[in-house]
């Protein structure tokens, strides 16, 4: 009886195949697990990066907001400081103006008011003590000097009172329709003696022109401008007052002009002529005293009535002062 031997080759091959298959299965399982792990890691990294970028973006937004807020506060602070600087500058201007007012008042009291008073007192004293020794001509001469000093003091006090009311109390504006010819004629009558002393011809060329303004203020303006023209016009000269209506785009205005054949205004005084400055006062062609107060007063009063004032002049060729006023209520 033959014994059947096992087929070793076949058994080993089968075994190898089984082992190879198991290895492949385990390798597949391992690779699958590794792939899943890598996918998880990648997903985690991506999530972390997304969160990181989100945090960075949020941080940048917070930083930008903080910077913008900081600069906004800086701008607000700068604006506040600028406003304070403007207020300080305005305060300094007001203090400077008040200082000029004080200096002007001291100048008027110490020089422009005292000098005419001294002349007035000296003239009356000489006439009262030595009148019997003087001839008629001498007495007349002293009387004329006393009269001129009295006129100077009166004009100064009138302007000073008007100006003080504007600066301290505030003059009440009471506008109405006024006749410019009538107001001008009244001023010419008041200043008639001054014109006669210098043989100056004063002509009122205003016809039926009217304005809507405060009559007292405008008479003060006209009187000051005519007085100023007489003061700086030499003997035998001329002063003319005229008016012309101007139709503008918004309002109809009337322009009043006071023209003289006087000595004119020096170029170095043109910028200060309406300013409150004690250095702008000059004496007239006959030694008349000036305070530098009349023209600033005119400027304030004209502007209060809705007009403006300016002048044209050349040295030795006289001067033309112009100012405007509304014809009707605005």
In a domain, 317, yes or no: yes
Would 3 be classed as within a structural domain?
no
Phi, psi (degrees; rounded to nearest 5) at 220:
-60, -40
- Whether 2 has a pLDDT exceeding 50, the answer reads no
Residue appearing with tokens 């039926």: 208
Name the residue with higher pLDDT: 147 or 210: 210
Please check whether residues 255 and 164 belong to one and the same domain. Answer: no
Q: Based on the domain organization, do 111 and 238 belong to the same domain?
A: no
| Sheet containing 238-247, strands listed edge to edge, beginning at the edge strand earlier in sequence | 201-204, 238-247, 252-260, 319-326, 309-313
Residue span of the structural domain in which 203 resides: 175-330
Q: Is the pLDDT of residue 231 over 80?
A: yes
Query: Quick one: DSSP state of residue 171?
Result: P
Q: Which of residues 120, 146, 171 is at a domain's end? A: 171
The β-bridge relationship of strands 238-247 and 201-204 is parallel
Separation between Cα atoms, residue 146 and residue 152, nearest integer Å: 10
Whose tokens are 């050349």? That residue is 314
Question: Domain holding 250: CATH number?
Answer: 3.30.565.10
In this structure, the answer to whether residues 145 and 240 fall within a common structural domain is no
Are 65 and 138 within one domain? yes
Least confident of 78-92, 192-206, 308-322: 78-92
**Which of 34-48, 270-284, 295-309 tops mean pLDDT?**
295-309
Averaged pLDDT for residues 132-154: 71
Note whether 163 and 208 are same-domain residues. Answer: no
Domain count for the chain: 2
Q: What is the mean pLDDT of residues 295-316?
A: 90
């Amino acid at each position: 009886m033959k014994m059947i031997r096992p087929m070793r080759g076949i058994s080993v091959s089968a075994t190898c195949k089984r082992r190879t298959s198991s290895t492949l299965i385990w390798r597949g399982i391992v690779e699958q697990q590794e792939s899943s792990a890598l996918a998880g890691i990648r997903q985690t990294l991506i999530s972390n990066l997304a969160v990181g970028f989100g945090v960075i973006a949020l941080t940048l937004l917070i930083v930008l907001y903080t910077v913008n807020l900081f600069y906004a506060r800086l701008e607000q602070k700068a604006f506040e400081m600028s406003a304070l600087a403007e207020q300080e500058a305005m305060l300094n201007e007001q203090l400077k103006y008040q200082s000029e007012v004080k200096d002007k008042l001291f100048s008027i009291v110490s020089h422009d008011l005292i000098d005419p008073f001294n002349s007035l007192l000296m003239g009356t004293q000489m006439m009262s003590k030595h009148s019997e020794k003087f001839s008629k001509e001498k007495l007349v001469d002293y009387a004329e000097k006393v009269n001129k000093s009295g006129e100077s003091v009166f004009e100064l006090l009138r302007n000073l009172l008007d100006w003080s009311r504007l600066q301290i109390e505030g003059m009440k504006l009471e506008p109405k329709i006024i006749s410019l010819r009538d107001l001008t004629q009244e001023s010419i009558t008041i200043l008639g003696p001054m014109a006669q002393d210098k043989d100056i011809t004063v002509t009122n060329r205003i016809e039926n022109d009217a304005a809507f303004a405060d009559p007292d203020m405008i008479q003060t303006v006209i009187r000051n401008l005519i007085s100023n023209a007489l003061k700086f016009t030499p003997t035998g000269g001329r002063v003319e007052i005229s008016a012309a209506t101007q139709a503008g785009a918004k309002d109809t205005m009337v322009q009043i002009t006071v023209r003289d054949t006087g000595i004119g205004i020096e170029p170095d005084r043109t910028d200060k002529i309406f300013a409150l400055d004690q250095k702008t006062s000059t004496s007239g062609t006959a030694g008349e005293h000036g305070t530098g107060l009349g023209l600033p007063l005119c400027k304030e009063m004209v502007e209060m009535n809705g007009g403006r004032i300016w002048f044209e002049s050349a040295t030795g060729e006289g001067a033309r002062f112009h100012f405007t006023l509304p014809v009707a209520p605005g």
